[in-house]
């Protein structure tokens, strides 16, 4: 069969594609125990990853959705662990409320301090971020070390995040960092296991910004 002669591309509007994708997700996800607001986040995570297992593994602190919406509406800073997260976030929705997105991992002072201490830039970036983003949203999708450091800072009273979206991906410390996050009594969105990443972290945050506009 010559696919060059049988395939016919169809022009469809992006909104229609998204609507159809969400319809498929709704049909295939099956039973779940998420609230409507939590499911809005789950739905976008699945849409971004095409991974139902990942979506179903999401864990929400009881105040996570409320805290995220409140932080966005209050114009709190969003801290991303890496540029990939920063780039994907819908900044227009945040800017509507005076919010902005920051990533510190490539700052000169962070790189110099990490070298001096012989530690990772992700760790030093979190130490800097907590001083500049009190009450903000921390969106971590790449570096488990960043999440573990943020957890340590919270436990020691040096950090007061409004919400932690902790969805780092990987084989070293990713699952463990999320297990530790789930033990904290601060608002969080995380998941069980190794899966995660910048794309799904962005999806979770963008879902919250959409909820902030709607409610």
Of 161, 190, 198, 197, whose CA–CA distance to 68 is shortest? 161
Reply yes or no on whether the pLDDT at 63 is more than 80. Answer: yes
Grade residue 35 by pLDDT with cuts at 50, 70 and 90. very high
Residue 17 has a pLDDT of 82
Q: Report the alpha-carbon distance of residue 145 to residue 63 in Å, rounded.
A: 25
- pTM to 2 decimals? 0.91
Reply yes or no on whether the pLDDT at 9 is more than 80. Answer: no
Query: Per-residue pLDDT tens for 91-100?
Result: 999 999 999 9
Q: Dihedrals φ, ψ of 206, to 5°?
A: -65, -35
b/e code 18-50 from CB counts within 10 Å (16+ = b): eeeeeeebeeebeeeebeebbbbbbbbbbbbbe
Which residues are registered as beta bridge partners of 101? 78
Reply yes or no on whether the pLDDT at 112 is more than 80. Answer: yes
> Which residue matches tokens 């960043």?
146
Spell out the SS3 assignment of 101-147: EEECCCCHHHHHHHHHHCCCHHHHHHHHHHHHCCCCEEEECCCHHHH
Q: Report the alpha-carbon distance of residue 153 to residue 199 in Å, rounded.
A: 25
Average pLDDT over residues 71-82: 97
Average pLDDT over residues 164-192: 96
Enter the DSSP assignment of 182. T
Average pLDDT over residues 200-212: 97
Enter the DSSP assignment of 176. H
Domain edges within the chain: 58-214
Q: Report the alpha-carbon distance of residue 211 to residue 189 in Å, rounded.
A: 15
As a whole number of Å, the CA-based R_g of the chain is 18
Residue 13 has a pLDDT of 72
Active-site annotation, residues: 47
Query: Per-residue pLDDT tens for 122-154?
Result: 999 999 999 999 999 999 999 999 999 999 999
Q: Which option is the CATH number for 58-214: 3.40.50.150, 3.40.50.10230, 2.40.30.330, 3.40.50.10490?
A: 3.40.50.10230
Average pLDDT over residues 192-209: 97
Q: Report the alpha-carbon distance of residue 206 to residue 212 in Å, rounded.
A: 10
Reply yes or no on whether the pLDDT at 3 is more than 60. Answer: no
List CB contacts of 2: < 8 A, sequence separation 6 or more: none
Which residues are registered as beta bridge partners of 103? 80
Grade residue 10 by pLDDT with cuts at 50, 70 and 90. low
Lowest mean pLDDT, pick from 30-34, 105-109, 165-169, 175-179: 30-34
180, 148 Cβ separation under 8 angstroms: yes
Q: Report the alpha-carbon distance of residue 2 to residue 172 in Å, rounded.
A: 45
């Amino acid at each position: 069969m010559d696919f060059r002669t049988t395939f016919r591309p169809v022009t469809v509007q992006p909104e229609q594609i998204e609507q159809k994708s969400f319809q498929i997700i709704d049909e295939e996800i099956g039973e779940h125990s998420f609230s409507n607001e939590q499911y809005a986040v789950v739905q976008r995570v699945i849409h971004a990853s095409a991974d139902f297992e990942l979506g179903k593994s999401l864990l929400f602190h009881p105040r996570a959705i409320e805290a995220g919406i409140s932080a966005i509406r209050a114009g709190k800073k969003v801290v991303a662990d890496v540029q990939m997260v920063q780039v994907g976030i819908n900044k227009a929705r945040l800017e509507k409320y005076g919010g902005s997105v920051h990533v510190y991992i490539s700052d000169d002072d962070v790189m110099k301090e990490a070298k001096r201490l012989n530690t990772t830039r992700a760790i030093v970036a979190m130490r800097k971020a907590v001083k500049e983003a009190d009450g903000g949203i921390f969106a971590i999708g790449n570096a488990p070390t960043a999440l573990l450091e943020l957890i340590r800072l919270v436990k020691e009273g040096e950090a007061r995040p409004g919400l932690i979206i902790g969805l780092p991906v990987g084989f070293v410390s990713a699952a463990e960092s999320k297990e530790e996050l789930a033990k904290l009594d601060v608002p969080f969105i995380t998941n069980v296991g190794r899966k995660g990443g910048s794309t799904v972290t962005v999806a979770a945050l963008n879902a919250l910004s959409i909820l902030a506009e709607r409610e």
